[in-house]
């Protein structure tokens, strides 16, 4: 568990907030809290890349996870958090469940940040990654995956002509690219870039690689979902959307800020 800018604990009586993030919402919330100078923040992210976005905040301790149960217990015993904020990805259900259990166990208030969605288009909706892969196996034409490296194995398994049809757009981190190579994805089919991307850039990818099927998760506005919808429409490309697994019941980012300010004086 790596940390930076450690300044919490000791005799510091400032309010302390625990944020689980790695998303755009998490980063924006941490930046907002840090800029207000009303509390100290411990920001936990699952990946090194996510943590790197949080380094440098004057009032921020960035922890790179995943945290073990023992590390979570130590974190809670070493600090007196006024609240915990779950700003993890809407598809990371198991992580949200563990955060909720942690908050309940220690009697700390929990705020869940819900990602605002964009649903102004039509698409082929599927329930999960495997259903998306099985569907794509029945189609023809080139495919671009924008669902991340963790799901690549499922697509490789179910699409028989994967290396001839598929380009994978991944985060530009070593683990993601290495995983793709281990699965046998050709290097020239790996697009390692940091999003989200504009409609124009999505269109450029679609046209450059003659993409017929653009695959994404229903990731919401900050995940670039709206731009993918617009690009698919403009380029007459089929959009295959892995739908959110549950209906979230949280607060949008701006409402969460108001809640933190009103209820905790942050």
Give yes or no for residue 140 having a pLDDT over 90.
yes
- Residue, of 46 and 10, whose pLDDT is higher: 46
Cis ω for the linkage preceding 181 (within 30 of 0): no
Percent of the chain with pLDDT over 70: 85
Residue 233 has what pLDDT? 92
Give yes or no for residue 220 having a pLDDT over 70.
no
- Would you state the structure tokens that stand for residue 126, as one six-digit string? 């599927």
Phi, psi of 95, rounded to the nearest 5 degrees: -70, -45
Look up the pTM and report it.
Answer: 0.58
pLDDT category at 225 given cuts 50, 70, 90 is confident
Residue 10 has what pLDDT? 41
Residue 25 exposed, middle or buried by CB count within 10 Å (0-12, 13-18, 19+): buried
Q: What angle do CA 70, 76, 77 make, to 5 degrees?
A: 90
Residue 116 has what pLDDT? 64
- Residue, of 6 and 230, whose pLDDT is higher: 230
Residue 96 has what pLDDT? 84
pLDDT category at 49 given cuts 50, 70, 90 is low
Compute the mean pLDDT over every residue in the chain, rounded to the nearest whole number: 85
* Strand bridging mode 16-20 / 81-86: parallel
Cis ω for the linkage preceding 196 (within 30 of 0): yes
Average pLDDT, integer, range 138-143: 94
Taking 3-state DSSP, the helix, strand and coil percentages for the chain, each rounded to the nearest 5, stand at: 40, 20, 35
Our CA dihedral for 45, 49, 53, 58, rounded to 10 degrees, sits at 60
- Would you state the structure tokens that stand for residue 31, as one six-digit string? 């930046």
Unique residue bearing structure tokens 């998760």: 217
pLDDT category at 45 given cuts 50, 70, 90 is confident
What span, in angstroms and rounded, lies between the C-alpha atoms of 224 and 168?
16
Q: What are 54-99's pLDDT values in tens digits?
A: 656 788 888 887 788 898 889 999 999 999 999 887 666 778 888 8
Closest CA to 159 of 135, 180, 177: 135
Residue 11 has what pLDDT? 42
Residue 117 has what pLDDT? 57
Domains of the chain: 16-115+248-264 (3.40.50.720), 124-242 (3.40.50.1980)
pLDDT category at 231 given cuts 50, 70, 90 is very high
Residue 245 has what pLDDT? 67
Average pLDDT, integer, range 220-226: 74
Give yes or no for residue 51 having a pLDDT over 70.
no
Sequence-distant (6+) residues with CB within 8 A of 32 are 257
Residue 18 has what pLDDT? 94
Asked if residue 49 lies in contact with residue 30, where contact means CB atoms within 8 angstroms, the answer is no
- Would you state the structure tokens that stand for residue 164, as one six-digit string? 């001839």
pLDDT category at 12 given cuts 50, 70, 90 is low
């Amino acid at each position: 568990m790596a940390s930076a800018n450690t300044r919490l604990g000791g005799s510091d009586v400032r309010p302390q907030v625990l944020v689980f993030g790695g998303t755009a919402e998490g980063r924006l919330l941490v930046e907002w809290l840090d800029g207000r100078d009303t509390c100290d923040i411990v920001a936990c992210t699952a990946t090194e890349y996510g943590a790197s976005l949080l380094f440098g905040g004057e009032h921020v301790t960035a922890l790179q996870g995943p945290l073990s149960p023992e590390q979570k217990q130590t974190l809670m015993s070493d600090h007196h958090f006024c609240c915990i904020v779950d700003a993890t990805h809407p598809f990371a259900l198991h992580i949200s469940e563990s955060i909720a259990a942690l908050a309940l166990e220690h009697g700390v208030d929990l705020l869940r940040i819900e990602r605002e969605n964009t649903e102004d288009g039509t698409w082929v909706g599927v329930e999960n990654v495997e259903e998306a892969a099985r569907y794509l196996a029945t189609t023809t034409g080139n495919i671009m995956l924008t669902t991340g490296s963790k799901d690549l194995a499922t697509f490789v398994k179910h699409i028989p002509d994967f290396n001839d049809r598929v380009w994978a757009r991944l985060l530009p981190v070593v683990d993601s690219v290495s995983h793709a190579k281990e699965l046998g994805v050709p290097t020239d089919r790996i697009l390692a870039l940091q999003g989200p991307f504009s409609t124009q850039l999505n269109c450029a990818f679609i046209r450059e690689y003659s993409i017929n099927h653009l695959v994404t998760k229903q990731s919401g506005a900050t995940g670039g979902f709206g731009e993918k919808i617009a690009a698919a429409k403009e380029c007459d490309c089929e959009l295959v959307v892995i739908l959110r697994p549950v209906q979230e019941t949280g607060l949008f980012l701006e409402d969460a800020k108001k809640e933190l300010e009103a209820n905790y004086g942050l």
